[in-house]
Each structure stands twice: as structure tokens, then as C-alpha cells.
Structure 1
């Protein structure tokens, strides 16, 4: 049940109907149906309580932060030990601030394959790392764990968190 706005008068004796609505309102907040779209605004959230950061084991001042993410791939048409591709963030982070990036391998396919949302997950012997990180992007570097040659297309996901 969606939240129902109730008005009360000081000293009012609550009817059974209003008491039932109060209970329903409470239940609607527990199941999420009582929170309307757009009713929770970012300016009312204490971000300093959510996002803390460190650099070289020193706590950094609390600043507004953004989280960006994406999926990409690197094509490797011929044998090579490592492969790279450039990733540009949808929005630049604060100038001079380097975001934290996590990359993870998602699967592979043939180098000539078109984009796939379901790459072959049967082998996970490769890893991705983020190097050359700036406030506008990074280079994703792929290598196999066993040191063997790469060939095909390798998919990865990334998440970047940094100062807005």
C-alpha cells in the first residue's frame, strides 16, 4: 500500500481507521512502497557518513564523490602477451584527483565477434588492471595468468570512484 498523508489535530482521539492507516504507512516504509520516486534527494543525505577515502594510508578530507562504471572489451586479433584499450569516463572526476578503479574479467570470444552481453564464461584465466589513470580515463591492461598468448576478444567491467 502506498503512503497516505494523514493530518492530526492536537488532542484528537484516533479512530480505528486512522490507526489502521498509521500501521499501513509504517508497513509501506518497510516494503518500499511508501517511498515515492524522487522523494529522497541527494542533498538530504549525509554523504560524509557514506564515503570515506585514504591515500597512502592517510585519510583524505571528505568531498562529494561520484561512482561511474561500465563494460568494455579489448580485441586481440593476433597472438600477444598483453593487450590494452583506453577507457574514457562518462564524466571527468575533479581535476587533479585520481579515482580508484576496479576492473574485472567477464569472459571472452573470437576477435571477429560483434559485441556480446553474454561472452563465454567457461574460462577465467585472464585478469585486467587499470593503469595510466587520470581524472578522465584509464588504460585497461589484460594478461593471462599462465603467461601464454592472448588471442580473441576479452570483456571486462570497471567501477571508478572519485571526487566529483
Structure 2
């Protein structure tokens, strides 16, 4: 067994990078969330400083945004839930409540208002493409709305005057 020696910068960089990997049967498959760099706003806070809910929330947004980027104009994203008779939820919102709850807001197949609160240890969703509710309106892309503040530059750090000698 060989012990690798890493500089403190390498250790810090490794702790900030998530461990993600994907393999597709089709070598020409579209790029997936695991293959893309994290938005700067997500990478700014180290994973070990995030609650399980916050980290699950951020990764769900990445998956939703990537899924939506591959949809045609006739479809929107919805989620199916495993392990129950919840059905399909047309996504209208997503939230988290530290340390361990994720909340999905939306409407079911009949248009009834729906909210699902789920513990991160039970998180299991299937993203689905469903026909748009209003075919004449542009498709709603919730993943891009959820992540809109990730693409904005970080606020400048306040400049503190140097202490007088």
C-alpha cells in the first residue's frame, strides 16, 4: 500500500469537489449533471459545511436543469415518486428545510395542488417529460429558475481598511 502525499491546497481542492461519475451505454449520450462542473455559487461552500438537505436540494436542481435542457418545446419536467401511490407531480417549486427535509411543490395529473415533504434518507424521484399543460404558452423551465442565482457573480467581499500602525 502506498500512502500518497498531498499538499494542503490539493486536500482543500479535493474536499470542495464532489465525487460524481456516470457511464452511458451510448457514447453520444448528452452530457449529464455528473459530467458538468458545479456552478461557482454551489462550489463556494464546501460540501462538509452543507446540511444533507441543502446538498440534496442543490444536486436535485442540477439534475432537473440538465433534464430540462434536453426537452423539446412541447414538454415540461415532472417527477414520479417511488415507493408509494403519490403519482406524478408537475414541478412548480422545490425547497429544503435544514437539516434533512426536501419539499416539492406542484400539481398532480388532474391539476390539483400538491406538496410532498420528504426526508433526504428517503429521497427517490424519477424525472419525467410530460406534455405541457398549455401548448400555446412557452414551456416552463423550473430547473433554470431554481438555479438563477447560481449563475450570478458572488457579491464582492467588504474591504476593511488596514489597521493603522
What range describes the TM-score normalised by the shorter chain of this pair?
A: under 0.3
TM-score, length basis structure 1 = 0.25
Structure having greater relative contact order (Cα 8 Å, sep ≥ 6) = 1
TM-score, length basis structure 2 = 0.25
Q: Computing the radius of gyration over CA atoms, which structure comes out larger, 1 or 2?
A: 1
